[in-house]
Copies of this chain bind each other. A is one copy, B any other.
Amino acid sequence: MDGVGIHEVVIGSPIHNQLFPLNEDKQVEEVLLAYRERYLALREDPRIKLIIIFKNHGEAAGTSLEHTHSQIVGTAVVPSNIRKKLDEAARYYDDHGRCVYCDSIQEELHFKKRIVMDTERFVVLQPFASRVPFETWIIPKEHQASFGSISVEDSKRFAKVLKETLFRFYSKLNDPAYNFVIHTSPIKDEGEDYYHWHLQIIPRLTTTAGFEMGSGIYINVSFPEETAQFLREG
């Protein structure tokens, strides 16, 4: 493996102190369209195996710059953590003949209590086994393994849903530090039936400590059913 990789920074606003969810809709759309455009460009580079798009907001989330921004990294390897996620999804597919994310969306929409927002194309939910309080995922309802499959129209819808979700964090949780990460398939697996891209928001309201480090088990003191309700209610 070469020590090669790609790192790009997407500036989220021309205004220095602007918080991302307080941007105009149009501005957030442009950020999401930039993600899409850069994804599609970077995936053509044969050295790049996986593209990770993420944002760090606030000091507790490890941000290094105040001006709202997000980052795109192309790695020359598929990291073992990601490979494990894919393997588990493939195993479910082999057992059931269906995508585990598609199945989860159906179950969650039926159960309702962990849903934060339900729109035509995207669902916002808090996972059954949330690692941290208020962990929140945005998932496209249509099966797509890769973020690179998102259309221009859906990018705009995604922007709207992301902005609204982050605005609720901002207004209801007093502008918490958070990271968001788009989990998408490695480039060579973009056509797979078993994986399904999604965006994870991890608010940094708590701190992982020795137990998490020593076990990989997360202590979460809150119920996603309750925190989802809190974000759901207007």
Interface size class of A (residues with CB under 8 A): 35 or more
Which B residues are CB-close (under 8 A) to A216? 79-82
Residues of A within 8 A of B (CB): 50, 52, 54-56, 59-63, 71, 73, 75, 79-82, 179-183, 200, 202, 206-211, 213-217
Q: Which chain B residue lies CB-closest to A63? A: B209
CB distance from A154 to the nearest CB of B (A): 21
Query: Bound state CA distance, A56 and B80, in angstroms?
Result: 27
A52/B214 contact (C-beta < 8 A), A61-B209, A179-B209, A209-B63 known? yes
Which B residues are CB-close (under 8 A) to A200? 213
Task: Determine whether the beta carbon of B82 is less than 8 Å from that of A207.
Answer: no
Task: Determine whether the beta carbon of A82 is less than 8 Å from that of B181.
Answer: no
Task: Determine whether the beta carbon of A215 is less than 8 Å from that of B63.
Answer: no
Task: Determine whether the beta carbon of A62 is less than 8 Å from that of B217.
Answer: no
Query: Bound state CA distance, A207 and B202, in angstroms?
Result: 14
Query: Bound state CA distance, A82 and B214, in angstroms?
Result: 8
Which B residues are CB-close (under 8 A) to A75? 215, 217
Q: Which of A179, A200, A209, A214 counts the most chain B CB atoms within 10 A? A: A214
